[in-house]
A and B are shown apart, each in its own frame.
Chain A
């Protein structure tokens, strides 16, 4: 997995004139020294553009070049309109594997999405017999399709970019533009923090983390994708389990049947130690369905004897009618109370749901606020200040307009909300269970009342029949008992069916849980990953010492095991905690460390690093000297670093004396008129 830039060329055609910069790069440190505004950034941007990586800077399709390359250029003291411009680069991967690429910056005939390639060293040795082939970039499919340039580049570099999760929960390829910020630092925004320019519009979850895991070849990346897939399966199974259980419980509830010991959440333990049981409201008491069915069958057997005639049972019917009417009256009262309970509990549940919605909205705002505060890591855009930038007065902690006393930090407030969500969730789950039980009771009472009324009707009919006729009440009772027994039998059968279905789902759940356990806890690292990270951390600390980092003791800087970013005493280091120049030193140490770790461990780092103006924030010459000396050692490991600096060449020469570097000292503009 390597990538080297051997040649790069930016060509601008303006009128009759052709201007170009041609740069040759070797292994080790390549320094481009030129004064400001002479075209150094253009030269580096040309490499980025040729690689199709400018999407790391922004979603815009606008070419990332100044007007001198796209509109009007100064040439021999005249200003000429640019008619055509393009970027070319000759890439090397492996010993003799060369690929030359060309991409139009401004052209009437070639779209900027087109990348023309030759399988050979066209810039250094001419076109020869190398045939060209066109690919496309910066449009959908560039990373996956055969005709996509990034698909080709990935193969060329020997990379195998993994699938990662995006914000929609789907799996997408880890785009090169997400890895590029760790290999290319652009001048204006790249030095604010480690990978401060990150194309979040590509909607990959935790892009910095995924890119670092890929570059370090951490096993946890593969594990993260597998874990995400298993978590998605588990969520789906949870949904399906709950749907099955809820549907059964609802159907049972409508008939006044209560279900107990049926777990609403999936479990691997099936059948459960206490089996799910159906309960019926029988004589004001919830009794197991088995017992009620036995009683009903007994009663049915008794009535299955010869149907009596009316004259034989008239007195009995009269008594039964009185009892039934009393029971109906009692049930009506109970139903009124049960319905009131249901209404009150529904209102309480709704109020808890509303509270939880409000809390989750507030939590989302705090998550946003914490992310937004990070934007303020650069002084320019800081909106999280305690003093007014205009008059320096202390700003209130909130927008309430009154002094509310000390206010929690964003993190403290978010933690509080998270705790409240937990509490209210438990209350809501409890309220749901209580409501469900109340609804079941109400349905059971209503079902009983319906039955009793039918009984009353048939008893009354019996009393008006002729004496010789068979008792209507006895017939109706038999039919009713038979119907009830059949109905409750059906529920038992359905429960058995549900049990089989859940048994299958439980097996699936066991499998998923076991595989998740094998993968380890979230953020868990294998022993080899830990070794790599420890070595990476050592490299970062060593460099911070070398570079003169002083905002905190370098030995206290660790790398977090979940984000791989610097932290101190288990708290992530925020850029605004460091001085501006130390922020830059941290970026140096991190990116150089990522490259250097590949010298001792197997990683996917291509051994290429491009830095535009690392001497930011008037950083001391001592620090810069230490950086250049360190980067110069890259050559000994077959790695390549390209640096653009506006430091005078003489000063740079002194900094790198005795080190092997390729120094390109440019006088005037890099883009120079070429002989036709």
Chain B
């Protein structure tokens, strides 16, 4: 039997294709993203946040470079155009979920923490070893993020 014929013989049987689960980036998991989102709301002035404030903080906690960039801008050390904010569509989905889970509420102008959201944040605060990087990066900021600062950063003020 030729090699080709042998191959045909070996391959002449039913094939089954099964979809195997694939990986996903950790920050796209709701269970990780929602507590981080609540921390971002808390880091805004008055513990209430506009969508723009959330996107700015979300960008800031992605890496130490972006956190330093935001801190430098807030300290007046760099101009707005030197701190390039990246918007992330996944954040908006996370906000919607947080609303559905009653962790955040919309009061016609801002996203605010609900009592449930605060409870969850208390648990996160009590866990010394969880969300270490995000907690450290938020601590780097000179103070609660104001809307005025965000407007200036995004070139809208």
Interface of A with B (CB < 8 Å)?
58-59, 167, 199-203, 205, 361-366, 368-369, 371-373, 375-376, 380-381, 383-385, 388-391, 395, 397-401, 404-410, 412-413, 416-417
Interface string of B7-51 (1 = CB under 8 A from A): 000000000000111111111111111110000000000000000
Taking A201-B126, A383-B31, A399-B33 as given, write out 18 further A-B residue pairs in contact, using a Cβ cutoff of 8 Å, ordered by the A residue number. A200-B126, A364-B132, A368-B26, A369-B26, A372-B130, A376-B31, A381-B116, A381-B123, A385-B101, A389-B100, A398-B24, A398-B30, A399-B29, A400-B28, A405-B21, A407-B22, A407-B24, A408-B24
Contacting residues, chain B, for A365 (C-beta < 8 A): 25-27, 29, 32
Contact A408/B21 with A372-B32, A395-B97 known, Cβ cut-off 8 Å: yes
CB nearest to A375 among chain B residues: B123
28 sampled A-B residue pairs with Cβ under 8 A = A58-B126, A199-B126, A201-B126, A205-B129, A362-B25, A365-B25, A365-B27, A365-B29, A366-B29, A368-B32, A368-B130, A373-B31, A376-B31, A380-B119, A381-B119, A383-B30, A383-B34, A385-B101, A388-B100, A399-B90, A399-B93, A401-B90, A405-B21, A408-B22, A408-B23, A408-B24, A413-B23, A417-B23
Q: List chain B residues, Cβ under 8 A from A361.
A: 133
Q: In angstroms, how far is the closest chain A Cβ from the Cβ of B34?
A: 5
How far apart are the CA atoms of A199 and B29 in the complex, in Å? 27
Query: Within the assembled complex, what's the spacing in Å between the Cα atoms of A383 and B124?
Result: 13
Per the bound structure, the CA–CA distance linking A200 and B125 in Å amounts to 9
Contact A399:B130 (CB < 8 A) given known A381-B119, A408-B23, A416-B23? no
In the assembled complex, the Cα of A388 lies from the Cα of B122 at a distance in Å of 23
Contact B22 A404 (CB under 8 A): yes
Give the CA-CA distance A381 to B100 in the complex, in Å: 12
Nearest 3 interchain pairs by C-beta: A365-B26, A399-B90, A406-B21
Please state if A410 and B116 are interface contacts (CB–CB under 8 Å).
no
CA–CA, A169 and B89, complex, Å: 39
- The secondary-structure label for the interface of chain B is helix
Contact A389 to B133, CB < 8 A, known contacts A372-B35, A376-B31, A408-B24: no
- Among candidates A200, A364, A399, A412, residue contacting B94 with C-beta atoms closer than 8 Å: A399
Given A373-B31, A399-B30, also A407-B90 (CB < 8 A): no
* Contact flag A375-B120 (CB < 8 Å), given A388-B100, A413-B24: yes
The answer to whether A383 touches B126, judged by C-beta atoms less than 8 angstroms apart, is no
With an 8 A cutoff between CB atoms, is B82 at the interface?
no
Instruction: Provide the B123-142 mask, 1 if CB < 8 A to any CB of A, else 0.
Output: 11111111111000000000
Within 8 A of A (CB), among B95-152: 97, 100-103, 116, 119-120, 122-133
Task: Knowing A167-B128, A376-B31 are in contact, say whether A413-B123 is a contact too (CB < 8 A).
Answer: no
CA distance A398 to B21 in the complex (A): 12
- From B24, B102, B120, B132, A397 is in contact (CB under 8 Å) with B24
List, in ascending order, chain A residues with CB within 8 A of B27's CB: 362, 365
A401 with B24, Cβ < 8 A, contacts A364-B133, A376-B31, A383-B31 known? no
- Report Cα–Cα, A376/B35, bound state, in Å: 12
Complexed CA–CA distance, A282 and B28 (Å): 56
Name A372's contact: one of B31, B128, B132 (CB within 8 Å).
B31
**What is the minimal beta-carbon distance from A91 to any residue of chain B, in angstroms?**
28
Q: Do A167 and B22 contact each other (CB < 8 Å), given the known contacts A389-B101, A399-B28?
A: no
Q: Give which listed residue, B21, B33, B133, contacts A407 with CB less than 8 A.
A: B21
One of A200, A400, A406 near B19 (C-beta < 8 A):
A406
Shortest beta-carbon distance from A375 to chain B in Å: 5
Decide if B29 touches A398 in the complex (CB within 8 Å): yes
Contact A410 B128 (CB under 8 A): no
Give Cα A203 to B127, complex, Å: 8
Chain A positions within 8 Å of B94 at CB level: 399
Contact check, B31 vs A200: say whether CB atoms are below 8 A apart: no
**Smallest Cβ distance from B48 to chain A, in angstroms?**
21
What residues of chain B lie closer than 8 Å to A412, measured between beta carbons? 21
A200 to B124: give the CA distance in the assembly, Å.
10
Chain B, Cβ-Cβ closest to A369? B32
Q: Which residue from chain B places its CB closest to the CB of A412 in the assembled complex?
A: B21
How far, in Å, is A403 (CB) from chain B's closest CB? 12
Residue in A closest to B35 when the chains form the complex, CB atoms: A372
Alpha-carbon gap, A58 to B20, bound state (A): 43
Assembled-state Cα–Cα distance A132/B50 (Å):
57
CA distance A385 to B103 in the complex (A): 14
Query: Given contacts A200-B126, A364-B133, A389-B102, is CB(A384)–CB(B30) below 8 Å?
Result: yes
B116 touches A167 (CB 8 A): no
By a CB distance below 8 angstroms, the chain A residues around B133 are 361, 364
Question: Closest B-chain residue to A362, C-beta based?
Answer: B26
CB distance from A394 to the nearest CB of B (A): 13
Q: Return chain B residues, CB-CB under 8 Å to A381.
A: 116, 119-120, 123
Q: Is the CB of A369 within 8 A of B31?
A: yes
Contacts of B90 in A (CB 8 A): 399-401
In Å, the complex CA distance between A391 and B27 comes to 24
Q: How far is the CB of B41 from chain A (nearest CB, A)?
A: 15
- Say yes or no: B35 contacts A383, CB within 8 Å: yes
Q: Are A383 and B22 in contact (CB under 8 A)?
A: no
Is B125 a contact partner of A201 (Cβ separation < 8 A)? Answer: yes
The residue among A383, A385, A388, A417 with the most chain B CB atoms within 10 A of its own CB is A383
A424 to B31, CA, bound (A): 27
Q: Which of B22, B31, B123 contacts A410 (CB 8 A)?
A: B31
